[in-house]
Amino acid sequence: MDQSLALEQAYVDHCYALLSSYVSHLDDRITTTSNQLSTGTGQDELEREAMMDNLIAQIRQARASDTRLCFGRIDGDSGSHHIGRIGLRDSEGEPALIDWRAPNAAPFYQATFANPLGIALRRRIVLRGRTVTHVEDEILSDPTLTESRAAAASLDAPREGRMGDIIATIAADQDAIIRSPLNQLTVVQGGPGTGKTVVALHRAAWLLYTFRDKLARDGVLIVGPSPTFLHYIDQVLPSLGETDVVLLTPGQLYPGIDARKHDLDEVSAIKGDLRMAQVIANAVKQRRRIPREDFTITMEDRSQVKITARQLADAERAVGSHQSFHAGRDSFLNRALDHLASYRAKQHGEDSSDSEVRRDHVSELVEDKNIRRELNLMWMPITPEDLVRRLLSTPAALKAAADGVLSKQEQLLIFKDRETSWMIDDIPLIDEAAELLGPWDPDAARANARESAEMRHELQHAAQALDNTEMGGWIDAAGLVGRMASSHERRSVAELASVDRTWVYGHIVVDEAQELSRMAWRVLSRRATRKSMTIVGDVQQTSHPAGARDWEEALGDVRGNLDLHVLTVTYRITSQIADVATELLTAAGGDAPELHPVREGAPVEYHTVAQHELAELVISGIKDLAGRTAVIIPDDQIDELAPQLLAASDAFGIGDTALDAPIAILTARDTKGLEFDVVFVVDPDALGLQTKRGADLYVAATRATQIMHLVNWR
């Protein structure tokens, strides 16, 4: 083994030398390019800036690859190959390190004892810094060896407050998910600690590598359950060489709003119900109040114009069947104004069939505030936010839209004060309204639509142009368009997509997807019309009252080709923690998922203390332990307990930056998708009651990789 370590250390040193040389080469090119004198032509300047952008992106990726640069080797029919974070070539141009996302790296993950794919040896290389500490060999002709030891060993390392990548320990079943086809709904069902999240993120990185041209044009969206979770994963994709993605929570899916609060469960259950789509549609329709009889308007100069019921019906028929509310309003107003202009022309003894005469009168009519008011009242414009706020805060409006759809009790439950901040479950309602209303502000709407359309057109044009130039080797279409946008602020595709509600992404990743209601899935379906999504979650951990209990039912609005994968091996929690978590869930009325832990660990510890003793218990309980700790508190107790803990020690942290502190104070909902070395589950009985079937308690009880403490009150 010592000889193997020495051989691998020499090769790792060689790879780091190649990486250093590559970075120096890029540095030199950046310096040379930046010092080039401008020729004064726009094309030359465009190409120079485009090259600079690409060189900077390359050097960032190279520097991000420094940590655990090389982590594997395969020996087989085609020789010996080392696998790493980035592809590197030696001075002869021969591959020295294969990028883990490349097709010829796939056997490192996919080879099994039953199907070795021509691979005789798979070696995992473990680095500390740049030093090889040990290697783990799998002789694929020997079925007595297991494939999960490396992954299990990685869980013994202390948590660092951020999710790490797993590219050295991806199992064959996980790799099959990562490399599955782009244009499908890849659904990953798995219990706690089965690697759902890291598989989803590595899939995003693989897709961006494999389908770079397509996804560079359309972008990738990652939806996570909370800001804390997004903070937790924010270094995974950069460490894998990918940065141009949009990360949002469900409360951020509507541009301009960042909703972070949850409704009471009984309210969330109603707002997440598909019936709310009909309520919103009714509320939109009620903005249209076209008279069914002849209508006379007195203008500011006291003269009168009349439009007949037949003419109003004709104006209404001018609206296309697929037009949005505001687009239909424009069609209605144009036809109504034309009828009014004809009436006005006849009043003045003019030829009403003359289009130029009518156009002059239309210009006069739209300047009259009485005309504008009366026509607006027939088809009243409104923003999506105002429509939903008015709907939920005005009893008469809610009754008019919801009668026959929601019961009176349900209407009372979702009624809210007009000044109340937006809740997370309000976002799908606003988006539903926006879809039906369409843009209203003519200037802003046209400008935004034009910019998005121009961007998409330019991306397509640039992609075609690059095929005919030598630039395609070092810049993609999105980068070229960014450089071409010299007349205004240049923005990446990700930046454009994040502020454009109508943007259709090339791929969407949804984590903790079981927490999305049917109304929330309608939001995502509008942003994923290409039906390319990676959806990961566990329907046994659903805490949202309108969340998923069955994937096919939950994804009914997306209507794509569903490819379901089930993961049952848990690398996070030990068998001791898994057994206790299952007991707690079953006692709370839930059904435990199938789980097969690969590790044994310390027994779960039980405590009974007074509330004022909690801080001391936590601090003493983690003395001399490395890694991260979480204190998970019931929703209705955190406001009381958190200040006590924060006052007791600077080691405690709360909020979006809780993970930056050694001890994070969190609710069960905020811990979804996270893991810690040590977890204190406070008042398990209360946690078991705060959601149906004990979902929050099960989440809290499955966050620890090493030690779990159950804390009851004295």
Residue 612 DSSP label: G
Q: Which of 43 and 80 is assigned the larger pLDDT?
A: 80
Most confident among 198-207, 425-434, 654-663 (mean pLDDT): 425-434
Q: Which two tokens stand for residue 462?
A: 């640039």
93: number of Cβ within 10 Å: 7
Residue 487's pLDDT is 37
Least Cα distance to 565 among 147, 85, 187, 121 occurs for 187
* Percent above pLDDT 90 for the chain: 58
pLDDT tops 80 at residue 142 = no
Residue 188 near residue 200, CB atoms below 8 Å: yes
Residue 181's pLDDT is 94
Range in 90-104, 162-176, 453-467, 573-587 with the lowest mean pLDDT: 453-467
- The rounded distance, in Å, linking the Cα atoms of 477 and 466 is 7
Residue 432 near residue 385, CB atoms below 8 Å: no
Most confident among 41-45, 393-397, 548-552 (mean pLDDT): 393-397
CA 37 centroid distance within chain: 43
Q: Encode 389-422: b = buried (16+ Cβ within 10 Å), e = exposed.
A: bebbeeeebbeebbeebbeeebbebbebeeeeeb
pLDDT tops 70 at residue 152 = no
Q: Are strands 569-570 and 596-597 parallel, antiparallel or unpaired?
A: parallel
For residues 562-571, give the mean pLDDT: 92
Instruction: Name the band, by pLDDT with cuts 50, 70 and 90, for residue 153.
Output: low
Instruction: Name the band, by pLDDT with cuts 50, 70 and 90, for residue 443.
Output: low
- CA distances from residue 417 to 264, 383, 386, 487 in whole angstroms, order as listed: 15, 18, 13, 45
Alpha-helix residue ranges (DSSP H) falling in 147-261: 149-155, 172-178, 196-210, 212-218, 227-233, 236-239
- The rounded distance, in Å, linking the Cα atoms of 616 and 48 is 61
For residues 310-332, give the mean pLDDT: 94
Residue 540's pLDDT is 81
Q: What is the residue whose two structure tokens read 């502000």?
A: 441
Residue 127's pLDDT is 86
Residue 104 forms beta bridges with which residues? none
Q: Are strands 79-84 and 596-597 parallel, antiparallel or unpaired?
A: unpaired
pLDDT tops 50 at residue 318 = yes
Mean pLDDT of the chain: 86
For residues 188-192, give the mean pLDDT: 94
Instruction: Name the band, by pLDDT with cuts 50, 70 and 90, for residue 111.
Output: confident
pLDDT tops 80 at residue 180 = yes
Dihedral, CA of residue 343, residue 345, residue 346 and residue 349, to nearest 10: 170
Where does 220-371 show beta strands of DSSP type E?
220-223, 246-248, 295-298, 304-307
3-state helix/strand/coil string of 664-684: EEECCHHHCCCCEEEEEEECH
Q: Which two tokens stand for residue 410?
A: 């349900």
- The rounded distance, in Å, linking the Cα atoms of 684 and 153 is 29
Residue 45's pLDDT is 72
Query: How many residues are recorded in the chain?
Result: 714
Where does 105-145 show beta strands of DSSP type E?
119-128, 131-139
For residues 51-77, give the mean pLDDT: 85
Range in 89-103, 152-166, 179-193, 443-457 with the lowest mean pLDDT: 443-457
pLDDT tops 60 at residue 479 = no
Q: Are strands 95-99 and 88-89 parallel, antiparallel or unpaired?
A: antiparallel
For residues 166-187, give the mean pLDDT: 86
Residue 145's pLDDT is 52
* Percent above pLDDT 70 for the chain: 86
Range in 380-389, 445-454, 596-605 with the lowest mean pLDDT: 445-454
3-state secondary structure of 165: coil
Least Cα distance to 649 among 620, 676, 678, 681 occurs for 620
Q: Are strands 507-510 and 533-537 parallel, antiparallel or unpaired?
A: parallel
Q: What is the residue whose two structure tokens read 């008279």?
A: 291
pLDDT tens-digit profile of 257-271? 999 999 999 999 999
- The rounded distance, in Å, linking the Cα atoms of 478 and 486 is 14
- CA distances from residue 82 to 6, 79, 609 in whole angstroms, order as listed: 15, 10, 53
Q: Which two tokens stand for residue 122?
A: 């798979």
Residue 495's pLDDT is 79
pLDDT tops 80 at residue 164 = no
- The rounded distance, in Å, linking the Cα atoms of 166 and 236 is 10
Residue 462's pLDDT is 54
For residues 200-215, give the mean pLDDT: 88
Q: Which residues contact 495 (CB under 8 A, 6 or more apart)?
A: none
Q: Which of 553 and 414 is assigned the larger pLDDT?
A: 414
pLDDT tens-digit profile of 252-305? 999 999 999 999 999 999 999 999 999 999 999 999 999 999 999 999 999 999
Residue 168 near residue 71, CB atoms below 8 Å: yes
pLDDT tens-digit profile of 358-405? 889 999 999 999 999 999 999 999 999 999 999 999 999 999 999 999
Where does 167-321 show beta strands of DSSP type E?
185-190, 220-223, 246-248, 295-298, 304-307
pLDDT tops 80 at residue 688 = yes
137: number of Cβ within 10 Å: 15
